[in-house]
Structures are given as C-alpha cells and as structure tokens.
Amino acid sequence: MNRRIAPSAGHRSPDVPDGTHHHASARPRVVDPVCRMTFPFDLAVATATHAGRTVYFCSAVCQERFAEDPAYFVRLASGD
C-alpha cells in the first residue's frame, strides 16, 4: 500500500530562506574580464570601476592582474 505523506507546513530546503524561491540560473551572471569565468555577480570576490562600469572578479589574483593594465583586459573582453 502506497501512502502519500504531505510535507509539513514548515518544510523547505535548508539553504533557501523562508518565502523566497532561489534558483541559481535566475541570478544575474557576470564575466571576469581576466580569466573569462562566468559566475553569479553576488559571488564576486572583488570589484573595480573602469570607464564608468563595474567589473567583477572571481579572485583577488584576477583583480590584481586587471589593475596592472585595465585597458588591455577591456579590449580583450570586447574582442578588439
């Protein structure tokens, strides 16, 4: 005999706050201009502003490399 057990009213995923629906694919994603890794913007380790735009980094190492020559990485990212 199969019995269906309804989840309790308080049942939720342990990593999702009450009242929210959290889907990783729905989180805005950014590209690190140095290593070209794509990741959710809220997981950025560091940010910088260049030419009036905020850029996001996956690591402090990428941020340091970007700081050495921002124009190079911006050109690289745009395909020039």
10-19 residue pLDDT tens:
433 333 334 3
Per DSSP, 43 falls in state G
3-state helix, strand, coil in the chain (%, to 5): 30, 20, 50
Per-residue exposure over 13-50, b if at least 16 CB sit within 10 Å of its own CB, e if not:
eeeeeeeeeeeeeeeeebebbbeeeebeeeebebeeee
d(C-alpha 27, C-alpha 49), whole Å: 21
pLDDT category of residue 8 using cuts at 50, 70 and 90: very low
pLDDT category of residue 26 using cuts at 50, 70 and 90: confident
Q: What is the pTM of this model?
A: 0.64
**Token pair belonging to 68:** 């050495």
The pLDDT value recorded for residue 66 is 97
The pLDDT value recorded for residue 23 is 52
